Chains A and B, each alone.
Chain A
């Protein structure tokens, strides 16, 4: 019986630790101390752009296609095929893009950070940094967070574009029951600029959580290469849970009370 309670307890305590560590990193970015290592920040930006852009866009594009097809057939079944654009406007922007982005960020960026920092930890590289008089949290974690904040909003907005484009392809070009003009009429009717802003906020909160969780598990890895593997797995679990929590909370807060839909007046 005790075993059943041990797991949640471990979760809660590690959640506290993560919060503390994250607070430190956020403070370092917020106080701009991180600019001391701006070169390293730029390098991390480069790593993000070269390493993760295409795969995130690709994933979002594919789910955008799916969303378009489902939407087109569903609205046709309701006898309102012209409304397929609603799905692109809502499903893509509000849910699919943030989740697709969150999943790929967890899988690619989050685990990448854990593996990288974890192997630095077990080969004494982090200790070596510290001994050279360099604040390793600042150098390794704060720079990564700032890089994420610099690069990801743009990457995210482009991902939204990729999702929209995919839905458009599926609805208009593939299934073809709506004209291009009819699609965009509905498409634009069912969203406005704040929706994009909210969606970006959703994505950025996810990205922030993923980078911070990755930094925590990597920085505190121990127990040799096996330990790094375990830490990577744990971070992945934590990140997927967080992505869903943030997605749910975001939808509740931004669209829960007011769907901002021009239906029924």
Chain B
């Protein structure tokens, strides 16, 4: 957990005790808005003391834009498997990540929530070294991903299971070959064993009868589920699901959530799920990070976030049209 004592937002925690690292340096004052007042009033001294501030927003200029970003990270008591430290990423002039500080705790199912187009998928690509940050660092189990050599990177990726937003099945292979691919590449299992595992995985996601179909013969939801099976086939330690539940009917979504929980109980590890579905979040999330405009608005254990006082978090987690988030 990285503390950033130069946080200009530290004055939000006026009632924190001296010497907790939050007020040790002079800070720039932030124009108080009505919500600031409310936030401050609502923050009990206890929770404020426990909070670790990760955000280091730039002074003044876009204070307004980031008025909801308390960057509050309520502690979970476990170490982080993946950490983003002040990550900046831009595509041309389009700044996507703007000083992202985020941790995903080991051994828990974390969810990254946020409006469409804020860079959740971009985040995932940073974790596996498909994209490199312009500034800042991404740590996986304490190792810096951007500084890895190619061989280290390939080794690290074997610990990962990733479901891409569109499934990313190999168009030239049928479902069985798709799911068997990682097994064939990275294990010495016999063909029989491999087919056995693959059939079981496909049955789990309800594709037992479609196993010899090509990806282009499947519906979007079926492709998602096949991608899901493929991501998990090596029992990876860190699992990243990019919207596993989009494009699925409500019942399948519920079943998939249960499946995620079951598999997580079996294997453990750091599971990260990106979703827009609040029901799914309520069902499976143990830890939630809310991402907006390239930074964390708030993160922490799920039940605490669902009771958060932050207006943006509240609006987003209840899906109301009134609040800080508009269509813009």
* Interface set of A (CB-CB < 8 Å, partner B): 116, 119-120, 123-125, 127-128, 130-135
Q: List 30 A-B contacts (CB under 8 A).
A: A120-B170, A120-B171, A123-B166, A123-B171, A124-B164, A124-B165, A124-B166, A124-B168, A125-B168, A125-B169, A125-B170, A125-B171, A127-B125, A127-B168, A128-B168, A128-B169, A130-B130, A130-B157, A131-B128, A131-B160, A132-B181, A132-B182, A133-B154, A133-B155, A133-B185, A133-B186, A134-B154, A134-B185, A135-B150, A135-B154
* Interface set of B (CB-CB < 8 Å, partner A): 125, 128, 130, 150, 154-155, 157-158, 160, 162, 164-166, 168-172, 181-182, 185-186
- Total A-B pairs, Cβ < 8 A: 48
A131, B171: Cβ atoms closer than 8 Å: no
| Cα of A124 to Cα of B223 in the assembled complex, Å | 13
Most buried by A among B150, B160, B164, B165: B164
Which residues on A sit within 8 Å (CB–CB) of B128? 130-131
A140 CB → nearest B CB, Å:
11
Nearest CB in chain B to that of A47: its residue: B172
Most buried by B among A116, A123, A124, A128: A128
B171, A119: Cβ atoms closer than 8 Å: yes
A33 CB → nearest B CB, Å:
12
Nearest CB in chain B to that of A124: its residue: B168
| Cα of A127 to Cα of B165 in the assembled complex, Å | 12
Which residues on A sit within 8 Å (CB–CB) of B182? 132
| Cα of A130 to Cα of B129 in the assembled complex, Å | 9
A131, B166: Cβ atoms closer than 8 Å: no
| Cα of A206 to Cα of B250 in the assembled complex, Å | 55
Nearest CB in chain A to that of B150: its residue: A135
Which residues on B sit within 8 Å (CB–CB) of A127? 125, 130, 164, 168
| Cα of A123 to Cα of B168 in the assembled complex, Å | 6
Which residues on B sit within 8 Å (CB–CB) of A124? 164-166, 168
A222 CB → nearest B CB, Å:
11
| Cα of A116 to Cα of B172 in the assembled complex, Å | 9
Give the contacting residue for B162; candidates A116, A120, A123, A131; CB below 8 A.
A131
Which residues on A sit within 8 Å (CB–CB) of B160? 131
A132, B168: Cβ atoms closer than 8 Å: no
Which residues on A sit within 8 Å (CB–CB) of B186? 132-133
B171, A133: Cβ atoms closer than 8 Å: no
Q: Which 6 A-B pairs have the closest CB atoms?
A: A124-B168, A128-B168, A133-B158, A133-B157, A124-B164, A131-B162
Nearest CB in chain A to that of B151: its residue: A135
With A132-B181, A134-B185 known, 4 other A-B pairs at CB within 8 A are A116-B172, A125-B170, A131-B162, A133-B155
A198 CB → nearest B CB, Å:
37
| Cα of A125 to Cα of B169 in the assembled complex, Å | 6
B36 CB → nearest A CB, Å:
41
Given A119-B171, A120-B171, A123-B171: A132 touches B157 (CB 8 Å cut-off): yes
B164, A128: Cβ atoms closer than 8 Å: yes
| Cα of A160 to Cα of B24 in the assembled complex, Å | 82
B4 CB → nearest A CB, Å:
30
